[in-house]
Each structure stands twice: as structure tokens, then as C-alpha cells.
A and B are shown apart, each in its own frame.
Chain A
Amino acid sequence: MKKLHLILILILILSSVFANAQENDDIRWYLNLPEISIYAERPIKEIGVQQTKMDSIVLKENIALSVADVLTFNSSIFVKNYGRATLSTVSFRGTSASHTQVSWNGMKINNPMLGMTDFSMIPSYFIDDATLLHGTSSVNETGGGLGGSIQLSTKPAKEDGFGLQYIQGVGSFKTFDEFLRLTYGNEHWQTSTRVVYSSSPNDFEYRNHDKKENVYDENMNIIDQYYPIERNRSGAFKDFHFLQEAYYNTMKGDRFGFNAWYINSNRELPMLTVDYGDDTYFENRQRENTLRSVMSWDHVRENWKMGAKAGYIHTKMNYDYKRDLGNGIMAHMTQSRSKINTFYGQAEGEYYIGKKWLFTVNVAVHQHFVESRDKSVMLQDGNEGTVGYHKARIELTNSASIKWRPVDRLGMSVVIREEMFGNEWTPIIPAFFIDGVISKKGDVVAKASVSRNYRFPSLNDLYFMPGGNPDLKKEIGWTYDAGFSFALGREGVYSLSGSANWFESFINDWIIWLPTTKGFFSPDNIKDVHAYGIEMKGDLEVILSKEWKLGLNGTLSWTPSINEGEPRSPADKSVGKQLPYVPEYSSTVTGRLSWKSWSFLYKWCYYSERFTMSSNDITLTGKLPEYFMSNIALEKIISCKWADFSIKGAINNLFNEEYLSVLSRPMPGINFEIFLGITPKFN
């Protein structure tokens, strides 16, 4: 059945692409609309780069979604979702979440303690552009992205005076979403203020197949059992986000920018499906306050450019696990506190010699100050002690690149990068990229790249109490990419593009946290992993008539990620097996159909069965079956003289699937949300 679906998906993507391409010959004669344009220009900065770009339209198709949800339905990367409004991590090509480097307006936002990024904390409403740099391509921007990197950014508001947008969303499980954006723009100044507030008890119902309720007689004999329909317990959340931006353009080649993003999040952590605790007795809560701010300056001339950025991140994370002692008093079982202060600076320069040469240099520094307190304990002398650590670490990354396009059809690029974490330097990180136009008809471009890369352990890996291992080595990766892309179409009629890439990565000294005989976990450089596979994507836009427009895009990934380390013991069955929780196949399809001011959106994604054991044994208890997820939305825009109104209905999990992303984490069934929006016309 799995293979059947994969074949179906492949046929779907290809047939949609080619069938429509052929049919468009029939309709081309009457269409000459400006929305679709075909281009064949390849920016010299992107020689050989394998990337996925998501613009504002994709990111805001459902503004209530987090970037994690957007990536789930629009990219080939794997999103590990621990539940609704719960930790969501992303990983490329069979690597782990900490192998994905994430930046926001140039500043790295991976948590320096954990090494990864929680994408459920990034509302898509706050992101205007997202670029996924797969594998090798990430070396152009940063080091440590053994899987890849994700660049999130905002853009200046339009230069047309005042703007306002307010959207109210009301959805299932008493979910309320508020979105507000105020903008002002003129020739020189653009400002934007965005606010998002989301809240929900998040107590969706689901049939719990992991446990049964007992019915007893008076002698406490079980006389019946049934799978209970439970609510998601302890899942409430209140997330507030505020983003202030200001840009100034001198119109003489200098641009200044300021972005500040404040997050106040208060989330309960949902109970497992196998938890028999009474949720009124337990409180499991995470609170986060984060401020991220970046100032930027760009100086642009005809053939050269330089820029500088400075930023600051403050994160305060509180985790409390309490229980009622039976007298109404909630006593702390765990009370963990962490503070992170990060100072960031970056300078970069670009120099063009004609259209054939581009030289770039870049240096970025992040200075972290971390204070982690996991627990208070009563010491042997009766005093109170703290379990935790307090560390600072400077992270420096610098790079230089030469990009050369000797002829229109051929481009080559060399990137040299070096990184320093604390006082330890990586060896030179080299990357080489090449692309060439195989056929101008269809803009068929072949690409290839190769790079070495390193990832340093996170601060928790090194210093967490208990278990941190200061002797950890950095992880080492080698990645190769090769593939092709094409783009064709007809101006105002259709556009069709696609790509297929082969990749291969070798990661040595992969860091894994394992239990110890002392009752806690500790990391070690355990695994050598060989990840390889194919990533395909296709995109089609068609103007069917003056009023009808169709968009289809899809991705398909095959990502074996194989443990090639030494056996841990004579009984070890994990060598040569797929890593747990990494799907071998995944796919997405998005369809957009618009008619006049109506638009219909259909989103679909698929993950193949994930193993939960390194030996790839499938047991009754450890089963994570494949799943398909479908979301739809219908939107109507109503325009009047003084404002545009929008009404949108969205259905998530359309077919009410019972599914799991992670073992024992409940996921919601079908759910609904309605959005009402207003955009006044001040001009």
C-alpha cells in the first residue's frame, strides 16, 4: 500500500505538471495576463545552490499556522511535531533537528543550550520570506548546518502610506487568534507593527487507543473495559508575539533597518496518552519570554555592497512541574529556570567584477551567556543547592567566496568557511558549487556541490547538570549534491518548474544522549550516519481563463538515513538500519484554485512509517504508521471603496485522521477555524 501511494504521488506530481503543460497550448491564445512571468536568469549568488523559497503568499495561506505547519505542507523537510502548540522541530535529509541552522534576519536563532529551534514558536504571520538551503548550500550562509539551514526574514512594508490589517480567527477547541498589522511607508521610511495573540484550552477530543478505562463491580473486579474518548489534557496555551520594524532608505545607496520581536508564551505541556495522573492534580507548564532584535545597515553601489548588523537576544525560559499535595497546595516537583543573553554582530561585503565574477566576505559573531538552573536540592548540610550551570561561549563564523560565471551557461563557486566556538576552531570548511545550462529550451540547469561541515556540541551537550559531557567532539559531515532543475512556460499563460536532486551525506561522531547507570542521560559521540536520497519538487501555475487560476506544487523525498557506526555491543542490531523517527519517504501537495475573488486551497502531506527503534523492529507498542494529512481553506475577498474584507474558512485534518507524529502524543482530529479580516484603504 505504501508503494502504491508513493507511485501515485509521483504520478500525481508529474502528471499534473506535464498534463497541464500540454493542455495550456490550447488556451494560450487568449491569455496575456501579467501575473505569470517566466524568467531564465540565474543570479550569480545562487550558483549551484539547492534551495526552496517560500514567499509571503505561501507563508500566509493560513496565518494561524506556525512556520512548522507551513514547512510540513510545503517542503521536503521532516517536521517532528509533539502535538498542537507543542514543540516542533525540523530536520533535513535524515539528520537531526540540531543539524538545521536557523536565522532570522541574518541572526542565528538556534537555542544555544539545545542547539535546535522550536518552530511552533514562530508564527507564519511574522515571516515574509523563508529560504531553505539544503545540505551543502547552507555553507554559503553559515556553518553547522549538516542537514541544511533555514533563513527567515521580514521585508519592508510597501511605500504607499498607511496600511492596516486586522484579522480575527475563531476555531475549534475555543481557539482565538488575533492578527494586527499597522504599516506606513513612503519613499524613505517604512515601518511595520505586527501583533499576534493566540490562545486555546486546546482540549481536543480523541479516542485514546493506548489505554482503557476499567469498570469495577462493588468488589473491585473489572467487569468491563473500553478505550476512553479523552480530551487533550494540560494542553492550554497563550502566545503573544509583537514585531516592530522600521526601515530607512536614503535613496542614495544606504539602507537602515531595525527589527524587534518579542514573544511571551505560556504553554502547558500536554499529558501523554499513557498518563494515568489526574490533570487537576498536576501542572506541567513552560513559560518563555524572548526578545530578538536586529539593526542593519546596507551600503549598495553599482558593483559592490557592504553591510553590517548588530543584534541581541534575550530568552528567559521557565519550566514548572507541580502537583497538588491533596490540600490545594501545588508543590514543585521540578522548577527549572534558564536565561540566555546573546549579542550578535555581523559584517559582510560583496564585490562584482562585471557579470562574471563575484567576491564575498562575511564574518559573524554570537556571544552567548547562559544560566541554567534545573533543580533546587537540599544539601547534606541542610542548605539549599542548585543543579545547573552558568557558562559563556563565543561563536565566530567567517567565510569568503568566489563565484565565477565564465560564460552564460556555466557557473562555479568556491566558499571557504571557518568557525570558532569557545577557543576551538574548525578546520577549513570548503564548499564547491557548479551549475550549467544544459538546455536553454526549458531552462534546464544541472547543479552539483560538495562540502565539508562541522557542528559543535550545544551548551547543554557540554555542561548540562547532570550528564553534560565536556569531552564531546564536534560532529563532522561531508555532503554531495547533484541534480537538475527546469523552468518553462509562457508569459501570462502558465509557468512550470521543477527540480530533482540526489544527495549524500556522511556524518561522523553524531552526538546522542543515552541513559547512564546513574539514572540520568549523558551525550556521547556515538554514531556514524550515512544519509542519502532524492528530493524532487514541482511547481505549476496556470491561468485557466480570465477568472480562473490554478496553482499546483508538490514535493517528494526519499531519505534513507543509515547508521553505519560500530555495533554498541555484540547484540546490537542497529548497524545498517534507518535512524529512528526519520521517515524514509515524505511528500507534499498543494493545490490552489482561484476564481474572481474566491480562492480554494488544498494542502496534503504524507510521511511514511517511522521506526521508533534503531533496530527498525516494529512492535505493537512502538508503531508509528504512515499518515496522510489534508487541510482545505476557502476564502472570499469583498472589496468596497474604503476597505477590503476577507472571510476565510479552514478545515484542518479534513478526513479526521487518527494519527501520531511522536509516540504517545495525542493529535487533534478534524478541526475548523473561521477568519474575518479587514484591510482599510487609507489612500
Chain B
Amino acid sequence: MFFKSPSRRVAESPRRLVILVSWCLSVLVSLTSCMEWDYGLEENFDTSASGEGLFICNEGNFQYGNATLSYYNPETKEIQNEVFYRANAMKLGDVAQSMVIRDGIGWVVVNNSHVIFAIDINTFKEVGRITNLTSPRYIHFISDEKAYVTQIWDNRIFIVNPKRYEITGYIDIPNMTMESGSTEQMVQYGKYVYVNCWSYQNRILKIDSETDEVVDELIVGIQPTSLVMDCNNKLWTVTDGGYEGSPYGHEAPSLYRIDAETFTIEKQFKFKFGDAPSEVQLNGKKDKLYWINDDIWEMDVTAERVPVRPFLPYNETIYYGLTVCPRTGDVYVADAIDYVQQGMIYRYSKDRKLIDEFYVGIIPGAFCWK
């Protein structure tokens, strides 16, 4: 119906406006928030009865803060993911790099969050944290009140007091700039701590843990990625050889056996140019060496040549992490798949049989045995 009277027209406009405004307001209210956030829910875990356990540090995606911690019970084959978040109702952070356990406390190094969390290894509850680190990679305990924390993009190793969660000092690394600073994994022989320097580096450092000074260094190949010490007090490191176009050089990678006492290279095992070996690990007795080089390789620490055939052949994926159960010798291999989904851990027996497989978090890179 049309209203053609001017008086009706004037009267009609406010009514129409009221209807319109009411309608708009009702729509407005209906379009407001219903975002769902689950905060503050803390789960209670108690894994003290389980004995052996395996922590898996899932790096997450750099700059996305989605690192997680998983816990696996090898006996029951039960996997619990996101245990840090679930126990503490907060995120672990950005790039979970490594973890070590000392006296029932797990120390989780979260690289791009500039933090190391200390957690109860049975409840996963946080008990403290060390903050404001530059870009922490690994922590190594000298004593209850002193530990070293290696860094990338810093030419210092941080000295911390784990009891007070404080940074107490620094070890300056000679001939290393801040911009290409890189110190990595640490092993101890007597009072000396050995450190491999990785990114744009080619050295193993020897640090006197009493004076906190670098007392010696050993040149190896380009970019040694990891460091372990076997049952014979031999250090093992593997280099990745750099990359094509690197100003630091690009060479065939090598595995090195170094005598800790004399701090000299005993043996160099050369790989093919273009290979990318990584993740040198030892079994529980420390008499067998494992690493990734597309396939998974196993070698006696006394061997004089690299085996011809791998321990586990390449399986249409890029293996990203590796560990060996110190008790059973089972080999755990991490598959990051496409790096943006939950990675898979494959568990093999000593005789190469697949025992179990389970999904963990994004980019499982490091393991820690309870």
C-alpha cells in the first residue's frame, strides 16, 4: 500500500527508522563474540610409577609458538601429547630445541622463546624457568648450581645457576662474532666440557669448567652438527659440510672420532659430497653409534669404516630426529612429514623390526630419556 499523504509520510519516517534501528541492533548483538578459548584447565599427571619414559621435544613452526612436549611410555606404548600445555595450561613456546634431565627435573630449552623451563618429570608441572637467554640451544650441568647454556647468534655460552634460575655469567668464545655465533651440544670429560660450534663454524671447543674459559679448540670439517662421547672416551661429531653457495665453503661431510684426552682427531670417515648426515647418537652401553644420512646408520665405535648397508633404509620420507633406548637398544626415528602436521615416531627393535609408531607434535626433533 502506498501512502500518498504528506502528513502520513512525515509520521511514517520515524516509525520506519525505529524499526530499522531495532533491526540493526538485534543483528549487531547476534553478530558479536562467541570465540571459544579454553584456558586455565590443568591436568594432573603422575607418571612416577611407569619407570622408563621418553620425552619428545616437538619444535613446532618457527615464529608460530606451537612447540609441544610429548611423553611416551615404552612399556605400555602409550603416548601423551602436549603434556606441558595440559599440565600447566600455557604454551611451551617457540621452537623446543632440546631437553635434559637432572635429579628428577627436566630442563626444556625453548630456543626462540629465550627460555629454559624446568619441569617435574612425573607431573610435567613447571618448577621454574631461566629467561632472557639470547637463543638457547642446549644446557649442560656442571653441578647443582652451575650449568652452561649454548646459544646461536651469540658468541657467548651463558653460565646459569639452575637453583636460582639466574644467568650468572658468560664464557666468551674467541674468534666468533655475534652474528655468526653458534655453540651447540656439550659433553664432559673430567673437568673439561667439549662443545661443537655449528653454524658457519668448524670447531670443537674445550672449556675448563673450573675457570669457565675456552682452553683449546680443534678444527674439524665445516659445520659439525652434533657431539657425543662413547664408552672409550672418544668424542664423535659429524659435519654437514655447509651448503652450495655458502661463503664459508661447501665440502663433503665427515664423521670424526676424537680422543678426549689428547683432543686430537683419531679418524675421519668421509661421506659423499652432497650428503647431509646428522643426529649422531649412542646406545645405552655407548659402544654403538647411530646417525641419519637419508637412511639410519649403525656402527660400532671401534669400527674403522662406515658400514656398507644402513641399519634402516630410507622410507620415502626425511628423517628428522633419532634416539636409542639406553636400556633396550630400541631405535626411535622421527619423521616430520611435511613439517606442518603432527610428526610420526617409528620405534624399531635392535633387529630392525617395527615395534610401534605414534604421532607426536609438529617437527619432532629431540628426545630425552627419563
Contact = CB atoms under 8 A, between A and B. Distances in A.
A323 interface: yes
B320 A517 contact: yes
Given A276-B114, A625-B37, A658-B37, A569 B27 contact: no
Contacts of B245: 389, 465-466, 468
B178 A331 contact: yes
A570 B113 CA distance: 32
Interface of B is mostly: loop
Given A214-B126, A222-B126, A613-B341, A516 B65 contact: no
Contacts of B81: 619
B219 to A, nearest CB: 8
Interface string A268-289: 0000111111100110000000
Contact of A571 (B4, B31, B154, B344): B344
A381 to B, nearest CB: 10
Interface stretch (A24-32, A119-127, A152-160, A487-495): A24-32
Contacts of A408: none
Contact of A378 (B36, B94, B170, B180): B180
A349 interface: no
B128 A332 contact: no
Given A212-B88, A518-B276, A655-B32, A664 B335 contact: no
A377 B249 CA distance: 12
Interface of A is mostly: loop
Interface in A472-520: 512, 514-520
B262 interface: no
A26 B134 CA distance: 70
Nearest to A326: B170
Contact of A278 (B4, B35, B131): B131
Nearest to B58: A621
Interface in A637-683: 655, 657-659, 662-664
Given A570-B316, A614-B341, A620 B85 contact: yes
B26 to A, nearest CB: 10
B68 A628 contact: no
Given A12-B27, A29-B2, A377 B179 contact: yes
A377 B93 contact: no
A621 B341 contact: no
A545 interface: yes
A520 B246 CA distance: 12
A466 B243 contact: yes
Contacts of A526: 338
B330 interface: no
B132 interface: yes
Contacts of A333: 134-135, 153-154, 178-179, 181
B180 A376 contact: yes
A520 B65 CA distance: 18
A222 B118 CA distance: 11
Contacts of A8: 30-31
A56 interface: no
A514 B129 CA distance: 31
Nearest to A546: B13
Interface in B103-160: 110, 112-115, 126-129, 131-135, 153-154
Given A211-B90, A625-B35, A220 B342 contact: no
B10 to A, nearest CB: 9
A392 interface: no
A657 B35 contact: yes
A545 B11 CA distance: 11
Nearest to B345: A571
A548 interface: yes
A209 B361 CA distance: 20
B316 A612 contact: no
Contacts of B170: 326
Contacts of A628: 31-35
Given A333-B153, A516-B276, A664-B64, A568 B337 contact: yes
A304 interface: no
A216 interface: yes
Interface stretch (B16-24, B210-218, B281-289, B296-304): B16-24
Given A211-B91, A376-B179, A520 B31 contact: no
Interface string B183-201: 0000000000000001110
A221 B163 CA distance: 10
Interface stretch (A63-71, A167-175, A340-348, A572-580): A572-580
Most buried by B among A5, A379, A571, A572: A571
B164 A663 contact: no
Nearest to B336: A515
A569 B24 contact: no
A382 interface: yes
A258 interface: no
B91 A621 contact: yes
Contacts of A220: 128, 163-165
Contacts of B318: 517
Given A227-B39, A275-B94, A333-B135, A212 B89 contact: yes
Contacts of B248: 377, 379-380, 385
Given A25-B2, A272-B63, A516-B276, A544 B91 contact: no
Contact of A216 (B30, B128, B278): B128
B38 to A, nearest CB: 7
Given A30-B6, A333-B135, 13 more contacts: A12-B31, A29-B2, A209-B39, A278-B132, A520-B243, A569-B335, A571-B337, A573-B341, A573-B342, A613-B341, A619-B68, A621-B361, A627-B33
25 contacts: A26-B12, A27-B16, A29-B2, A209-B37, A210-B90, A211-B90, A276-B110, A276-B114, A277-B114, A281-B132, A323-B154, A465-B245, A467-B243, A519-B198, A544-B13, A544-B17, A569-B316, A572-B337, A604-B31, A613-B342, A619-B342, A619-B361, A625-B37, A628-B31, A657-B35
